[in-house]
Every structure is written in structure tokens, then in C-alpha cells.
Amino acid sequence: MTPPATSDRQQLSRGQLFAYALPAAPIAAMGLPLAVHLPPFYAGSLGLSLSVVGGIFLLARFWDVFTDPVLGLLSDRYSTRFGRRRHWIVLAVPIMLLSVVMVFMPTGQVTGGYLLFWLFVLYVGWTLLTISHMSWGAELTPDYHERSRVHGAREVALILGMITVLTLPVLMEWSGPDDVPAARVAVMGWFVLIMLPLAVLLAVTRVPELPTPRPTPLGLRAAVSALIESRPLRMVLAADLLGGIGGGLVASMFLFLAEDALGLGKVSSLLLLCYFVSGVSFIPFILFCARRFGKHVTAAGSSLFNAVTLPLILLVPMGNVPFALTVWIFLGVNMAAGPFLFRSVMADVADHDAVITGQQRTGLFYAMLTSTSKIGAALAIGVGYIALDMIGFTPRGENSEATLDALRAVYVWPALIISVLVAVLFWFFPLDEAAQRRNRSILEQRRSDALDAEIGLRVGDS
């Protein structure tokens, strides 16, 4: 079914928005354990050292430096009768399912080589799925604010996926299985195995793709020049890289902080659950702020809020569950703002690039965006876990008070500095709503002229 022209379709129906956003739930259900649960699981329960696990996750993420732009270029270049994006999403599903089984449910003696290989495969499928899904969302509407609505819906689905995979371990932990870490990781993997194919099926059958210009072949030199020449692109990528480092630090060390430094034990998953519930509850408020003040100003304010609230963690007394829950609920107020605002802004950056170059490189730009966030998270895990080794921290072991204080400091202060830097970048971001509307007007005029020329050629041939 061919969707109406972009000028007639500024807003998606709620059903289409739901169907499009739904695959983000299993994407998040896999992404959260990769950042929070899998590194401690392999470093603790499976006996690999902190430095080995940190190095493996670092290498696996840097594998995406190669795969992300390649898969982004493929996503832009090769279309089928189903459109530019949906067939790539379908192709990613079997890759994801196999690698989730191998990474989330390992059997026998697990080595560093085993983890490295299957993380490589997992990241290929995840990259293909994520890039295609985000690019599809960027191309569903040309409207400045509707793009925030689309990516906001995707973020809601992401957080709901996180909440679901956090709820299951909370129930399991309270039921007291013999091997809590292994059971916790396995149940998260089963959620992805069941949810991903169902969500993708609904999305690709219920949501059509808008017509897009025929892609122009783009080589590696042009891909690199896109990064070098576009100031808005560089600013978004720099902010996303920094945000990935800050987010990766707090995510990869969260269980160590909650269980070892704060003595919260089985409450750790409940703490994350409250954090994400708070985040999804405040997405409508973030959307209101983005509509009122603009996306880049809201992103800057969100980062400053994060910088101000992070030190509250240092005030949490050992074993004080109510105090900790209150702090993490407060921290969660704006946790969703950065991810969906960055992706909404990137759609505007792709339009800006299309005006200048005449090429629609949405997939490439989102590939760069996924690369920076994943590289940031990898740097965080690699550097963070090496830092934990250097301060003498032992997971679930005997640690001195000085070591636990150092863990708290590594958790809070680098992320705070990063949040301030991200706020500065977005405060000076050059593309606002007026600039985006000018760009869309130019692109729509070009599209109209191209259609008129095509009709003229057909009339002349007849």
C-alpha cells in the first residue's frame, strides 16, 4: 500500500506510531543487559577477569566502527519493492536470535574468545536492526515536531522494554534461584527471543514507508566527507559520543555501586526499575519542553539537570533503600530526554545535508550516531573496568571503605563533567525549528520539480 504524499501526512496515526515503535522494546531488552548485566555476569559468575571483560567489550564495540558505516551505506543504497528500510530489519532478526542464545545462555566453559566472537555477531545484527529502524523513523515524517513525537514513541517503547526485562529479574531474585546472575541474564534473553520476531512482523506489515528519492551511490570518501564538512553533524556526534561514555560508565558499574558500595543487594533491579518508570513518565513533559523551547535547548537543559542531580548518589547511606529509591526516581526524570532528542535532531541534520549535497544519507548519518554511542559505551566499560582494577575493587568481595569511596567517585564525577560538556554543545547547536522548516521547503520544492519533470518526459514520450 502506497502512503500519501508527505505534504498530506504530517502526523502518524496512533496505531502506526505504536507498530513502528514496538521493535524498540526488544532492542532495549537486549541493550540494557549488554551495558548493565552481561559485563558483571561474565566477570563474576563465569570467572573472567575485569580487565579481560572490559577489553572484550571494548574490542567488540570498536568492531562497530567498521560495521556501522558499511551497514548504513547498504541501508541507504539498496532498496526493494518493500522500500528502503523494512527488508533490512527483517534480515537482522535471525542474526539477533542466534547470537542472543549464544551470549545470554552460554553453556560449559566460557572463554574470552567465545565471548568476543558472539559479541561481534550480536553487534552486526543489532547495528543493522537499529540503523534501519531509526532511519525509517526519520523518514516517516518531514515535520520538525512530529519527528520528536516519532522518536519519543520509540523511546517509550525502549524504556518499556527495559522495564519489562527489569521486572522479570526482580521477581526471580525475590524467589531466590540458586544462580541469580545466570537466571537473570537468561530470562532477559528469552524475552528478546519471543518479542523481537513478533514486534518486527507487526511493524513491517502495518507501517508503510514514505516515498524517498532514488539513492545516489556513495563511496567511502563521500562518507568521510559527510563527517568532516557538516558542523551540525559533528556537534551531534560529539554530544552522542560523550553521552555514550557518561551513560556507559554509570550503566556498566551500576550493579557494583548498588550491591557493593551501597549494600542494596536484591533491591538493585528494583532501583533500576523505578529509574526507568520515572523516565517514561516524564517523556510527555520533555516533549512539551521540546515544542516550547526547541529540541537542542531542551537537550542542553536536560544535560545540565543530569549534572546537578548526579552528586545526590554520594549522599545515599549504606543500605538505606528508601533514600536510594528516592534518589534514583529523581535521577530518572530526564533519563529519556537525551536519546530521543539526539535522534530527532539527527533527522533534521540529514535534511540539512540533503539541501547542501542533494543526497539523502539518513542511513549513513544514523549509522554514525549508533557508532558514537556504542564507542562511548565501549570506552566507558573498557576504561571503567580497568580503573576498578587499579583501585583494587573486587566484585562481591571484601573491599575497603577507601576502595568503595573511589568506586563512588569514578561513578559520579566523570559523568557529571561529561553532562556539562554535552549541554555546552547543544546550547550552541545551529539548527532550530525555523532552519529545519526552510530546509524542508527547499527539499519539497525539489521533489515537486522532479515530479513535474518526470511527468513532462512521459507526456513528451507519448
Provide the residue type at 397 as one letter. Answer: G
Q: How confident is the model at residue 4 (pLDDT cuts 50, 70, 90)?
A: very low
Provide the residue range defining the domain that includes 296.
17-451
Judged against a pLDDT cut of 50, whether residue 35 lies above it is answered with: yes
| Average pLDDT, integer, range 85-111 | 90
Q: Could you tell me if residue 47 is inside a domain?
A: yes
At 120-144, the pLDDT tens digits run 899 889 888 988 898 898 888 888 8
Judged against a pLDDT cut of 60, whether residue 26 lies above it is answered with: yes
Provide the residue type at 146 as one letter. Answer: E
Q: Could you tell me if residue 329 is inside a domain?
A: yes
Supply the CATH number for residue 68's domain.
Answer: 1.20.1250.20
Q: How confident is the model at residue 179 (pLDDT cuts 50, 70, 90)?
A: low
Q: Could you tell me if residue 2 is inside a domain?
A: no
Q: Could you tell me if residue 456 is inside a domain?
A: no
Helices (H), 267-320: 268-281, 283-293, 295-309
Judged against a pLDDT cut of 50, whether residue 9 lies above it is answered with: no
For residues 271 and 458, the model is more confident at: 271
* Mean pLDDT across the chain: 84
The pLDDT > 90 percentage for the chain reads 38
Q: How many domains does the chain have?
A: 1
SS3 content of the chain, % helix, strand, coil (to 5): 80, 0, 20
* Residue from 140, 127, 141 nearest 73 by CA: 127
At 303-353, the pLDDT tens digits run 999 999 999 999 999 999 999 999 999 999 888 888 889 989 999 999 998
Round to whole Å and give the CA distance between 217 and 360: 11
Provide the residue type at 124 as one letter. Answer: V
Q: Could you tell me if residue 458 is inside a domain?
A: no
Q: How confident is the model at residue 199 (pLDDT cuts 50, 70, 90)?
A: very high
Round to whole Å and give the CA distance between 404 and 87: 49
pLDDT at res. 213: 56
Q: Could you tell me if residue 282 is inside a domain?
A: yes
Tell me the HSE value of 309 on the side-chain side, using a 13 A CA sphere. Answer: 17
| Average pLDDT, integer, range 355-375 | 81
pLDDT at res. 252: 82
Q: Which of 71-75, 223-227, 265-269 has the lowest mean pLDDT?
A: 223-227
Its pTM stands at 0.76
What is the DSSP code string of 232-249?
Answer: HHHHHHHHHHHHHHHHHH
pLDDT at res. 6: 38
Q: Could you tell me if residue 218 is inside a domain?
A: yes
Who contacts 322 (Cβ-Cβ below 8 Å, separation ≥6)? none
